[in-house]
Chains A and B, each alone.
Chain A
Amino acid sequence: MVELYRQQFRTTIAVQLQYRAALVIWLIGQVLGPLVTLSVWTAVSASGGGQAGGYTPADFAAYYIVLMIVNQLTFTWIMFELEYRVRHGSMSMALLRPVHPIHSDIADNVAFKLLTFPLILVAAAVIALGFHPAFHFSAWSTVAFLPAVFLAFLVRFLMEWTLALAAFWTTRVSAVNQIYFVVSLFLSGQIAPLSLLPRGVQAAGMILPFRWTVGFPVELLLGKLSFPQALEGMAAQVAWLGLCLLLLRLVWRAGVRTYGAVGA
């Protein structure tokens, strides 16, 4: 198993270094989103007397810089990838292998992130120069951030991998994906920190998994949460992790049974 991961690591890095232009395009997309929203909220808090919903421009800058980093650490592209594999029939090959295909996907994802993490840090530094963020780290929340972000990655990966299996049943995955991305745009804290959204949306955010995959680690690191809230969040992450594992197992089994290979 270790050998498998190591090989996948090497392959991914070699492949990505071949397509450097694609890396630049990916980086622009990854940075521009938070930058645009940050600019909007900076303008809002400037016209609202220096703050909006308890966030000053410096707070918004810190929030979106950390959000960009957490998003980079937890994002996956599996929902597009699996659809492509099913449509082109390369899923068949993955099924013939003696190990579950999720392992090579995890290795692929982690390798890509190791390669691109320095780029995101540079982008974060550039944004910090322009927007002057104010960070208020505390020791315990910084320590707690590490397991929180790791759990966030696991939950998001398993959830998106399970959702991506929708490709086994329908060819119209793009509609499914779009709805998922819109919901996560609001509930994961990307359009605004969750505390700025209407109460009903916040309540939905507490129940659904989206907040726990992005917004929660960000708020934790920035010291917006109390110690009990942090524990509560991690409990929610662990609960979702268990549920996702269970769902993944069930959906995968049913999906493989439905899968009729297309093409070669």
Chain B
Amino acid sequence: MREPPLRDSYRFSAVYAKSVEDGAPVLLTRASDAHLTERLLKPLWRGGPFWKLSLLVTGLGALFFIATLLYTALTGIGTWGNNIPVAWAFAITNFVWWIGIGHAGTFISAILLLLEQNWRNSINRLAEAMTLFAIINAAVFPLIHLGRPWFAYWIFPYPSTMNVWPNFKGALPWDGAAISTYFTVSLLFWYVGLIPDLAAARDHAPTLAKRRLYGILALGWRGSGRSWRNWQMAYLLLGGLATPLVLSVHSVVSLDFAITQLPGWHSTIFPPYFVSGAIYSGFAMVLTLMLPLRALYGVEDIITTRHLDAMAKLILVTGSVVYYTYVVELFIAWYSGNIFESQLFLWLRLSGPWAWAVWLTYVLNFVVPNLMWFRAFRQRPVLLWIASVLVNVAMWFERFFLIITSQSQDFLPSSWAMYRPTYVDGAIFLGTFLLFGFLFLLFLRFLPFIPISETKELRHALVEEESRLEAR
């Protein structure tokens, strides 16, 4: 007898899930819906000393972050290592790095939703939260880089008494529009997805205060057929809107660079180059966060080895696209015959004062993704975690040398200058991690970080599919 065709994705996931060696995934066990709901809601009712201690540390860190921002705002940008010509320096490096990290969250939740990749359902909430917090961190940098952040609202078109309007032919109002839209739409998408789970939290809340809090947040969700139908449609549409949006945000960020005249920046490859780098680093950050969480909360049967394997493959794919753009950039620098381009790429970057950062990036971004060809790396959490951290180190240095080298030595040797960051630069960057950790810990404690209704829906479909196949 011939095997039934493996065209159904659910069946395929069942076969695949069994083929990796870490026990039965929760979707294949007969754990009841009630049990699953209670289990996924458990972190909401119980903090634990480890969580409290981490929250205290990161909370103090978030205060430290605010202090560094206040110090910069009150003293001035002179506290940073920025100079002329290197005016963008650390702040814009951090901005590009953080906003890039956000991209994977939207990619996982929106693009994989449209492609019906059901494995996304265990990790999309977590990745979307990461997106939101990464955008918050990213948005701090252009704001504080203004020097007078209290005038930031000048970027938005409003009828001012000065009778002027923003210049929409420049990239900065585009940035303002792109980032504020990205944050808002990501938040809406996240919230719409959360509504059914907030209702579950409401119905399981142990105290009246919590019941009221989640009740208000759930907006009175009762899971009626009508509301599910509209919910599914709205969720799909938001996914469809977020898909081009996520591709546009880093494209717009890359235009900040590409529409200038500087060698190394003035290039049409920038939008795809930035987007692929963003998704690549974002996947790595999802792994960096997900791997410890999975062990700490004991959810290895929900975020399975199969998820790690798929994420690692995506790192390989996006990493290869990034590397392809490196090669194209270097080739064009030589092939164009432009002396400024070739001076920058072939001399300054490969052998100048920042050559160590350039080579670090080139080596790490080649070696680490290519290790993902091997199952031994894809399916071992510890190795994968180290790889994910190295990817983000490499991606930070990529943005660093990209921004510093082009500015420090451009057309006129008389205006060349070196760049050194100060301790304030470092402190602000450290602060963003602490703020990120603080927000992420709050998220883990107060919101269900694995989607409950989507997990149950997936389990229902899978169990049904299995029983149908058994009946054949």
Chain A bound to chain B: no
